[in-house]
Chains A and B, each alone.
Chain A
Amino acid sequence: MSFEMWAEKYRPKTLDEIVNQREIVERLKSFVKAKNVPHCIFAGPPGTGKTTAALCLARDLYGDAYREHLMELNASDERGIDVVRETVKTFARVRSIGEVPFKILILDEADNMTADAQQALRRTMERYTETCRFILIANYSGKIIEPIQSRCAPFRFTYLPKAEHDAFLRRIAENESVTLLDDGLEAIFDVCSGDMRKAINTLQAAASLGKPITAEIVYSVVGRAHPADVQKMVLTALNGDFTGAREKLREMIQKYGVAGTDIIRQIHTEIFRLSIPEPWKIRLADTVGEIDFRLVQGSNEEVQLSAMLARLVEAGYEMKQTEKG
């Protein structure tokens, strides 16, 4: 077993090493061949290889010294229009020396930028097109403003299909001399649903226990990483205890740092497992969907999820009324 984080160790280094997202990789390879890259948007869920593809593209394009021609910015960290604009300007303004006459700038989590910052970015992109090409990485391309979208070649990344997910994890397990049992592998796919970073982290955390990896171990690892007892919270709400349910929610978010989108996804799963009248499930799913949407639009996850809990309390009450009625 090696002692670094496997998710980095096994990150593909060249486009050829990327085994999935074949259509995307083919197009990127054609860019390398032509030694020309347009501005791009890589959109898709986490852990599907967006950043990896961008890094591989750069390496294939510039060779081993690719770092000199590449800059990675993260919109979430490098907050504020000014910081991004200044950094980008300084980097983009100087022409690259060598066969490829432009640099590449990867802007990760670009969908976290405000509309204003994106407008400023758009102008910068235009001004320095000759010397710098931008790869914007986002979970939702819809949150990138229209004028930027229309200037970029769009690439849509999707979760890895199960077969490829399995093959990749098996290869790592073999390399690291870890025994990965079939049901353990199933369990990883069940909880990570194709998010490779999460899957590899889960595999490594499970391996750190030093035992063959079974489903039980996987679930216990995930339970400790994200101790979101969503089921309990949902039941508390349905039983009419809003404040109690909100306490649980607060604990998940503040103490354990569980992301709002993860909680809402689990609530969604949970709704369909409940023993409540069937029509209620789809009614509640509608609320879940609405709140999921508002999570993206709003500013405070706890407030949004609390609205979901209040709706569950109300649903519990109404179900009881019907029973009595």
Chain B
Amino acid sequence: MYTAWTLKHKPRTLKDVIGNKQAIQTLIEWVKAWNKAAPKKKAAFLYGPPGIGKTVTVEALAHDLDMELVEKNASDYRTEDAVKRFAGIASQYATLFGKKRLILFDELDGITGTQDRGGVKALTEIIKTTRCPIVLIANNAYDPRFTNLRRYCMLIQFKKPPVSEVVKLLKKICLREGIAAEEAALRFIAQRSGGDVRSAINDLQALAQGKTRLTYDDVSWLAYRDRQENIFTVLKMIFYARSCTSAKQAVDMAEVDPDMLFEWIYENAPQHLTHPQDLARAMDALSIADVYRGRIRKTGNWKFMRYFLDFMTAGVAMARQKSRPSGWTPFRFPKRIQELSRTKGKRRLELAIGTKIKRRFHMSAYRASKEVLPYIKIIFENNVEMAAGIARWLDLDKEMIEYIVSDEKAKAILEHMETL
């Protein structure tokens, strides 16, 4: 079964978190201070590059101090209204069961665009009045959007842990997974990840899972195939996940955006869900995912994003009921995308012709290029006189005419246009 090692080997307690000792100590003291009275700064703002353990620290802290952690991602609080919904939670110091609360707003960078400015503002309001500690996490705390918000926060910087610490961690994971790994191999992975621990662990999993030994040679070629290796791991996770959760985790691991990930899944599903009934279920899931994507587009409401992700990952994973694992099947780059970039010039020209047609035809340029252009093509191939008349009437230029018909015909049409 495919579980991300980043989750399987996630530190449960603070003493297992690597690096940032000073920052973590500051955070602990600040949270503990709440036991006496609310401190002046009611939010802690952790910032630093991705994958170095900011979220993990907060989770481990809640565990160690036996607090209830309320965790929110950017997708939960993009808009003002969405943020306001959490105001109630923040107004109570403890839960019904006497556990103290810790509220975490993760991925603050994910709030984008003008529409969401209200979200940052509403968040600031909640911080002003909160009765329990709030932690904010972002890559860049000095983003202008957070200028006002920062005044109410204690800023805590998280830095990349030293390579030696990352190597130590990778060693520990290998030990637990029963893999004998060369130090040089682990050092290579750690160095290459540039301090991003999460990506180092993902790399290790991609390279070492299922093996008993890991040598330097096994990893050195990796530098060239970075991104692809990542997407392959992610796709495997999705196509062979046994639980919805593990399939959904793949999205976080992927280095491509969800739309591109969707294309990869859509392209490769038939090779991995080989049983017709499984494939029908998988394609149905992708079709539903696409409907949610349509809803995001039409309503402008990003809350539908989570359903889009559900269906393209868990939906596809759960489609597998009868297919056998297809052994080693290479993953293919999404052909649809390849084609689209290949035909870009063609589409540009078609749209330009469509725009010419539109001026005469009272319809959109896009529809004109789809619905009228095919007939114009036939006329141009068969009837020079009529073609010349139409070309003049639509005001088509040489490039357009040459696009519509073969060079020889185009020449005849252009010549005839001169005589008109």
How many angstroms between the C-alpha atoms of A108 and B361 in the bound complex?
12
Check if A114 sits within 8 Å of B298, measured CB to CB: yes
- Inter-chain contacts of B293 with A (CB < 8 A): 298-300
Nearest A residue to B367 via CB reads: A76
Tier of interface size on chain B? 35 or more
Check if A242 sits within 8 Å of B279, measured CB to CB: yes
Give, as a whole number of angstroms, the nearest-CB distance from A2 to chain B. 7
- Inter-chain contacts of A109 with B (CB < 8 A): 364, 367
Check if A1 sits within 8 Å of B386, measured CB to CB: yes
- Inter-chain contacts of A298 with B (CB < 8 A): 287, 290-291, 293-294
Instruction: Tell me if A141 counts as interface (CB < 8 A to partner B).
Output: no
Instruction: Tell me if B326 counts as interface (CB < 8 A to partner A).
Output: no
How many angstroms between the C-alpha atoms of A77 and B295 in the bound complex?
20
Give, as a whole number of angstroms, the nearest-CB distance from A207 to chain B. 8
Check if A297 sits within 8 Å of B294, measured CB to CB: yes
Give, as a whole number of angstroms, the nearest-CB distance from A51 to chain B. 5
- Inter-chain contacts of B335 with A (CB < 8 A): 250
Check if A2 sits within 8 Å of B389, measured CB to CB: yes
Stretch touching chain A among B5-13, B152-160, B183-191, B376-384 = B376-384
Q: A3-B389, A259-B370, A314-B276 are in contact. Are A108 and B283 (CB under 8 A)?
A: no
Give, as a whole number of angstroms, the nearest-CB distance from B390 to chain A. 6
Instruction: Tell me if A72 counts as interface (CB < 8 A to partner B).
Output: yes
Instruction: Tell me if A201 counts as interface (CB < 8 A to partner B).
Output: yes
How many angstroms between the C-alpha atoms of A210 and B386 in the bound complex?
11
Check if B336 sits within 8 Å of A302, measured CB to CB: yes
Instruction: Tell me if A163 counts as interface (CB < 8 A to partner B).
Output: no
Q: A5-B361, A303-B290, A314-B277 are in contact. Are A254 and B378 (CB under 8 A)?
A: no
Instruction: Tell me if B375 counts as interface (CB < 8 A to partner A).
Output: yes
Tier of interface size on chain A? 35 or more
Check if B375 sits within 8 Å of A257, measured CB to CB: no
Instruction: Tell me if A307 counts as interface (CB < 8 A to partner B).
Output: yes
Check if B361 sits within 8 Å of A8, measured CB to CB: yes
Check if B361 sits within 8 Å of A77, measured CB to CB: no
Q: A108-B363, A304-B290 are in contact. Are A226 and B374 (CB under 8 A)?
A: yes
How many angstroms between the C-alpha atoms of A209 and B383 in the bound complex?
7
How many angstroms between the C-alpha atoms of A198 and B373 in the bound complex?
11
Instruction: Tell me if A48 counts as interface (CB < 8 A to partner B).
Output: no
Instruction: Tell me if B35 counts as interface (CB < 8 A to partner A).
Output: no
Encoded as 1 (CB less than 8 Å from any A CB) or 0, chain B from 39 to 83 comes to: 000000000000000000000000000000000000000000000
How many angstroms between the C-alpha atoms of A77 and B355 in the bound complex?
9
Interface residues of A in 101-116 (CB under 8 A from B): 108-109, 114-116
Give, as a whole number of angstroms, the nearest-CB distance from A85 to chain B. 15
Q: A77-B364, A250-B335 are in contact. Are A4 and B290 (CB under 8 A)?
A: no
The contact of A299 among B290, B340, B361, by CB within 8 Å, is: B290
Q: A51-B363, A306-B266, A306-B283 are in contact. Are A4 and B339 (CB under 8 A)?
A: no
Encoded as 1 (CB less than 8 Å from any B CB) or 0, chain A from 60 to 79 comes to: 00000000000010111100
Instruction: Tell me if A197 counts as interface (CB < 8 A to partner B).
Output: yes
How many angstroms between the C-alpha atoms of A243 and B266 in the bound complex?
11
Give, as a whole number of angstroms, the nearest-CB distance from A52 to chain B. 8
Check if B280 sits within 8 Å of A310, measured CB to CB: yes
Q: A4-B389, A115-B299, A314-B280 are in contact. Are A205 and B378 (CB under 8 A)?
A: yes
Instruction: Tell me if A208 counts as interface (CB < 8 A to partner B).
Output: yes
Listed from nearest, the 10 A-B pairs whose CB atoms lie closest are: A3-B389, A307-B287, A310-B283, A314-B280, A76-B364, A225-B374, A317-B276, A208-B383, A299-B294, A201-B375
User: With A205-B379, A306-B286 given, can you name 17 additional A-B contacts, CB distance below 8 Å?
Assistant: A1-B385, A74-B358, A109-B367, A115-B298, A115-B299, A116-B300, A208-B383, A254-B339, A298-B287, A298-B293, A298-B294, A300-B290, A303-B266, A306-B283, A310-B279, A310-B284, A317-B277
- What are 25 contact pairs spanning A and B, CB under 8 A? A7-B361, A74-B364, A74-B365, A109-B364, A114-B298, A115-B299, A116-B300, A197-B371, A201-B375, A208-B378, A224-B374, A254-B336, A256-B374, A291-B287, A294-B287, A297-B295, A298-B291, A298-B293, A303-B287, A307-B283, A307-B286, A310-B279, A311-B280, A313-B276, A314-B279
